[in-house]
Amino acid sequence: MPISLSPNALVVLERRYLKKDQRGRPVETPQDLFKRVARTIAGADRKFDPKAEIKKTEQGFYTLLSELVFLPNSPTLMNAGRRLGQLAACFVLPVEDSIDSIFETLRHTAMIHKSGGGTGFSFSRIRPENDTVLSTRGISSGPISFMTVFDVATETVKQGGTRRGANMGILRVDHPDIEAFIQSKTDLAKLNNFNISVALTSSFMEALTAGKDYDLINPRNDKVIKLVSARAIFDKIVRAAWQSGEPGIIFLDHINRANPTPQLGEIEATNPCGEQPLLPHESCNLGSINLSKMISGGKLHRTKLRQAIRSAVHFLDNVIEINKYPLHQIEAVSKKTRKIGLGVMGFADMLIKLSIPYDSKRAVRQAEQVMTFILREARKASSDLAKKRGNFPAYEGSVFDDPKTPYMRNATVTTVAPTGTISIIAGCSSGVEPIFAVAYERRVLDGEALFEMHPLFENVAKQDGFYSDELAQQIAETGSIQHIKGIPDKIKRLFVAAHDIAPEWHVRIQAAFQKHTDNAVSKTVNFPQDAAPSDIEKVYRLAYESGCKGVTIYRYGSRGHQVLNLGMGQERDATIVPRTRPVRTMGVTERINTGCGKLYVTINEDDEGICEVFAQMGKTGGCASSQIEAAGRLISLALRSGVKVEAILKQITGIRCPSPIWQNGKMVLSCPDGIAQVIKNYTRISSTDMPAMMGACPDCGGSLEHEGGCLVCRSCGFSRCS
């Protein structure tokens, strides 16, 4: 039976998930992929019962996947049944206060990134900058300098042709270097392979409320260095987040109050998006149920949801068993706790189908009700598995070590993850986020811009007779319908986009899910461009008071070079005069292979930066050469007119000609695409720092969305956190 997939989902699967031959051509269909994953994961049953009905389980898993009811995290879709076999997405590694520990962790980080995972670290144990190093009689360079080393290593591994690495760097608020850490990402050129978060303690929050000072403590000897104002530090966090979206914050004591295995130690760090707090050397595999598939006749289909939950818990527990872990220490700790993270996607779509506005008390109640049901049923499923397979080995001494819960297979069962790319495959809204835009611009492979409506809105618009292609283009200018005439008010109330919603409602929805989630909830709290720092402070306090384990905010336009296609730009000067080309410039020439032949691209700079690009095709002439020359002249004119390099790359990246070619493991789609790749190499604008700086997808040039604590392109599936 054919799988119902959107054109966008097919693009994402082909680019990122389907097996390919040496020339980069897919050698499996989406059906083949789902069969491969279902067959591999079902095979784990043999470890527990040689007579297990593997075919029946395999068919059940295949139905779950192919009907887009449940999808596991990306590494499982990519690697199950393949040579790499690394299926987990989330890892936390320890960083102790010694050179040996730091560089051992660095080596382990590279291994995890090479296998497709993301890593989180707490750098709080490293002694502060300028502190004494007794072994050398020198001084310490501090945690931020070592974060820079990790950042460079991540970039190097990525440039070696592997899947992108992503990191979370955390520092306790009572570390002496906390002020420098807070400011470390206000410079957008630094730590581009890191998300950063400040770990706030309850004692800090109490000092903040009371208007008191608190202690900064040297982790080397636990001695108090000095007293500082909690208010002053909090203001710095708020200001930095207002300016650049980082740091995020995590509430360390909230996390550890929910630690299911306190006998194994405290939790100090999370995965890159913050939804998975983990012990050192622990990993977790995640998966999400598509809530939009759970609505029937305007009601939640609880029987269908219960069946999906039970199958998903079975699936995720099997993943633990057959995963090829990148390190033996990670396998040992992961199998000791057997944490899984079952979450949701399509929540906003579910609300629309139930005629419930996202920013309403009804939506908060619905969030609590559905997650209460999922947590209860997931724990029942885990308990039933434990009766057959045994409790997780660290059960004794855990929070479940009680006569009321004699069986539990997994130390945690629920997590709400961002679901950036898998929600594109499933054709639903991401995680527990509101819809990002009612209509948006999507760039296809030939560079053409298509304006797409949210399918539920399109259905309503056609039923009510106000649909048109022009309407889609008009909505895509801002993503919102609130300002558009001719759309009924009840429709406007229901189809609220992320930037239509007051920040407080984002937090209330997050808190509602967090109440009934073992791990944490990944979510972005969106702010308008004119939001004040005081608005962000209110959200931080509300998140703490309502029991969230952390919070990530994003103020629209706060990253300096953003050109997100939502039509919120300022007025532009109508007359732009390019600066004069100097007599002498400095630059380089790079050769790149294209389908038309060898292309030689020259990039020159003046005192203000790149000022011109020339391109010439070896041993050719006529129309091709004239078009390449024209492209170079126009790029040069744009550069000298003050157009950002990133904006130019957005326009020429991904243009396809009839003769694409592979070079050094990457496809060159055309001569303009080749010029773009040379410019990226020269300027070191990479797949991770382009979106951090501007909001244009580095892979296809489409718009990036800030959701779930990450950056995601809904056109091609690019994710900064994958």
How many other C-beta atoms are found inside a 10 Å radius of the C-beta of residue 564?
19
Taking the C-alpha atoms of residue 606 and residue 603, their distance in angstroms, rounded to an integer, is 11
Contacts of 375 (CB under 8 A, 6+ apart): 413, 414, 516, 517, 518
Q: At what angle do helices 302-322 and 54-66 cross, to 10 degrees?
A: 120
Sign of CA dihedral 198, 202, 203, 207: positive
Taking the C-alpha atoms of residue 57 and residue 260, their distance in angstroms, rounded to an integer, is 30
DSSP string, 623-664: HHHHHHHHHHHHHHHHHHTT--HHHHHHHHTT---S--EEET
**Active-site residue, from 275, 282, 433, 537:** 275
Contacts of 123 (CB under 8 A, 6+ apart): 95, 143, 144, 146, 147, 169, 170, 171
Q: Which two tokens stand for residue 118?
A: 């993301």
Report the b/e string of 488-525 with b at 16+ CB within 10 A. Answer: eeeebebbbbbbbbbbbbbbbbbbbbbebbbbbbbbbb
Taking the C-alpha atoms of residue 461 and residue 491, their distance in angstroms, rounded to an integer, is 9
Distance of CA 574 to the CA centre of its chain: 37
Count Cα neighbours of 38 within 13 Å in the Cβ-side half-sphere: 23
Torsion angle, CA of 231/237/238/240, rounded to 10 degrees? 140
Contacts of 550 (CB under 8 A, 6+ apart): 197, 248, 249, 250, 251, 255, 270, 274, 520, 543
- Give yes or no for a contact between 142 and 169, defined as CB atoms under 8 angstroms apart: no
Q: Is 273 among the residues known to form the active site? A: yes
Q: Is 565 among the residues known to form the active site? A: no
Give phi and psi for 587, each to the nearest 5.
-175, -165
From the list 281, 286, 257, 287, the residue with the least C-alpha distance to 269 is 281
Q: Is 275 among the residues known to form the active site? A: yes
Give phi and psi for 176, each to the nearest 5.
-60, -25
CA distances from 388 to 47, 306, 383, 408, 710 (A): 12, 20, 9, 11, 38
DSSP character at residue 500: G
Taking the C-alpha atoms of residue 187 and residue 194, their distance in angstroms, rounded to an integer, is 13
Amino acid code (one letter) for 54: I
**Active-site residue, from 273, 428, 596, 697:** 273
**Active-site residue, from 271, 318, 323, 604:** 271
Amino acid code (one letter) for 348: A
Active site residues per annotation: 271, 273, 275
